[in-house]
Amino acid sequence: MNKLILVVLDGLNYETGKSRMGFMNHLVEMKKAQFYKVVSALPSMSRPLYETILTGTNPIEHGITNNNINRRSKEESIFSIAKKAGLKTGAAAYHWVSELYNKSPFDYIEDRIQNDPTKNIQNGMFYFDDAYPDSHLFLDAEYIRKTYDPSFLLIHPMNIDLAGHLYSSDSKEYRKKAIEVDTVLANHIPIWMREGYHIIVTADHGMNKDYTHGGIEDDERHVPMWTIGEQFIDADCSEVNQLIIAPTICRILGVAPSEKMLKEKFIGLK
């Protein structure tokens, strides 16, 4: 049975991923990974795009059209589909992910650590401080991975996005944070590869020079995506629709995508 780890690097735009993620691009050079440009849905904001990535539906359809809409998802997600198929799910992620798929609103005392087989995210560790260190977040994820062995694990760090909001995408702080996350990935990905995981590393949205995102410009909407694993192949593809991520993950996990997910097969999948 295939297992997959999805890493969503919040706020990483395509050009910074391409130029600063040395380890990830080393894997591409060594033919161990594939690299694509993903075009995000609109608006290029966090909560709508978490929902888009994890349900394969557009904001106008799923209804999470801005960051201020705080409610449970009404769509079938990778988490709910995997759970119904008897697979284990896990997440180390920002608390908005818990609000979408487990419980809304988030209780800062009760909901930080969640272990409940009846939930869509059965084993979760959720943070609520944007400055929560990415290095710690990946260790939270490793604890979940090694302790509960989920078939689908979401890892969602926030520090790149925070640096962009504080200093802009055209700053040494933003670029440095991307390198730091790349270094963290260099510690974990070789382990996951040896243990046979399929891996997708991408972003929800990018970041612009005005310290923000939400619009239609390339630096806000274009994000990187790396794919790793035996089911992925090199494909000649200039741009990838963000909606293809959810059904691709379902297919790798061996579960049927939802009726609302794209029916077309990702060109980079066997």
pLDDT at 1 (0 to 100): 85
Residues of the chain with pLDDT under 50: none
Q: What is the pLDDT of residues 170-213, one digit of tens each?
A: 999 999 999 999 999 999 999 999 999 999 999 999 999 999 99
pLDDT at 246 (0 to 100): 98
Q: Where are the domains of the chain?
A: 4-253
Q: What is the pLDDT of residues 81-95, one digit of tens each?
A: 999 999 999 999 999
SS3 155: strand
Within 8 A by CB and 6+ apart from 125, the residues are 91, 92, 112, 113, 114, 140, 141, 143, 144
Q: Per CATH, which fold does 4-253 belong to?
A: Alkaline Phosphatase, subunit A (3.40.720)
